Amino acid sequence: MTAKIIDGKVIAAELRARVADEVARVKREHNLVPGLAVVLVGSDPASEVYVRSKHTQTQAAGMASFEHKLPADVSQANLLALVTKLNRDSAVHGILVQLPLPKGLNTEAVVNAIDPAKDVDGLHPNNAGRLAGGFEALSPCTPLGCIILTKSVHASLEGMNAIVIGRSNLVGRPLVQLLLNENATVTIAHSRSRDLPGLVKRADLVYAAVGKSEMVRGDWLKPGATVIDVGINRIPKDDGKTRLVGDVAYQEALAVAGAITPVPGGVGQMTVACLLVNTLRAACAIAGLPKPAV
């Protein structure tokens, strides 16, 4: 058996096209142009690549994109002042401060300063709490993407056994909440979990969000399981360059799983597409319009 490969590239492109259609509609019917502001502090090369991609994709979807680049030695007060300015700017419906922030800046204080209505990263405690309580919330983009990818294989996740490996605020914890909302039965595993292979073996849905190259082995999987690999790990190659691998031993898993996301070309593709979804939803909510059809 060879697993079905879940093509994040194709699914993300479809999602972006649906967002663009809805953006065109709200523009036409309500004169509303959703706007996303991205704040980049310092010059981390990986962050710069992400920010560029967010800018291009936001514009391609017909939204306004505002980029704010601050030096790595910006003061906490000046960064907070920019967030406050963006909170008040009526052309901005989504605010994303690219993480990680350089050392010396207080990430928690910056995230907490973002207006929860514009918190398209879904990291503000108001949104995290609302999600945990089962209320409508802006949810983190990567977990949202994981759910969409899973639903490309399973129309309903009701009653399925899911395991989420990793409990970060960015991925693992919100993903657990989203899976609960889908009526899955969820196990959350982390670095202190015992017998991880045994826990994974019981799962119909496996989400690996650890940051350890190929940690989840093929023989851990239940035959036919759906595997969503969130991990992005850079491995040095002989020619001095690097290649990307996930948290799952892909070739091994291909032979056992029912469906699997590749790295690259899986979850990573979905994250920015879901950021566009969140920006559109935030814009509609702020303008008092019904939830968009995406």
User: Binders of ligand NDP: how many residues, by CB under 6 A?
Assistant: 25
The reply on whether position 210 binds ligand NDP by CB under 6 A is yes
The C-alpha atoms of residue 158 and residue 175 are separated, in whole angstroms, by: 15
Distance CA 61, CA 37 (A): 14
- List % helix, strand, coil for the chain (3-state, nearest 5): 45, 15, 40
Q: Is 190 in the site for ligand NDP (CB under 6 A)?
A: yes
Confirm or reject binding of residue 261 to ligand NDP (CB under 6 A).
no
Among 43, 106, 181, 191, binds ligand NDP (CB under 6 A): 191
Active-site residue, 121 included: yes
Pattern 130-169, ligand NDP, x by CB under 6 A: ------------x----------------------xxxx-
Nearest-10 crossing angle of helices 141-151, 8-30: 110
CA 6 remoteness from chain centre: 16
Two tokens, residue 258: 């029912």
| Smallest separation (angstroms) from ligand NDP to the CB of 52 | 15
Ramachandran angles phi, psi of 231, nearest 5°:
-60, 140
Which residues make Cβ contacts (< 8 Å) with residue 231, sequence separation at least 6?
Answer: 208, 209, 210, 211, 212, 213, 215, 245, 246, 247, 248, 263
**Of the ranges 15-23, 117-125, 199-207, 227-235, which one interacts with ligand NDP (CB under 6 A)?**
227-235
Q: Diameter of the chain by CA atoms?
A: 57
63, 70, 176, 267: which one contacts ligand NDP (CB under 6 A)?
A: 267
Q: Which residues are CB-neighbours of 9 under 8 A, at least 6 positions away?
A: 265, 269
212 in contact with ligand NDP (CB under 6 A): yes
| 54 tagged catalytic | yes
Nearer to ligand NDP, 12 or 82 (CB): 12
Question: Which of 61, 171, 253, 276 touches ligand NDP by CB under 6 A?
Answer: 171
* Active-site position among 115, 119, 121, 229: 121
Q: Using CB under 6 A, pick the residue from 209, 260, 275, 277 that binds ligand NDP.
A: 209
Q: Which is nearer to ligand NDP, 52 or 291 (CB)?
A: 52
Give yes or no for a contact between 175 and 145, defined as CB atoms under 8 angstroms apart. no
**Which position among 62, 231, 262, 292 is part of the footprint of ligand NDP (CB under 6 A)?**
231
Closest approach of Cβ 265 to ligand NDP, in Å? 11
Structure tokens of 253?
């898993």
User: Which residue of 60, 80, 232, 289 would you call a contact of ligand NDP, by CB under 6 A?
Assistant: 232
Alpha carbons 117 and 133: distance in angstroms, whole number: 17
Note whether 30 binds ligand NDP by CB under 6 A.
no
Provide Rg for the chain, Cα atoms. Answer: 19
- Least spacing, CB of residue 213 vs ligand NDP, in Å: 9
Q: Which residues bind ligand NDP (CB under 6 A)?
A: 142, 165-168, 170-172, 189-193, 196, 209-212, 230-233, 267-268, 271
Active-site annotation, residues:
54, 98, 121
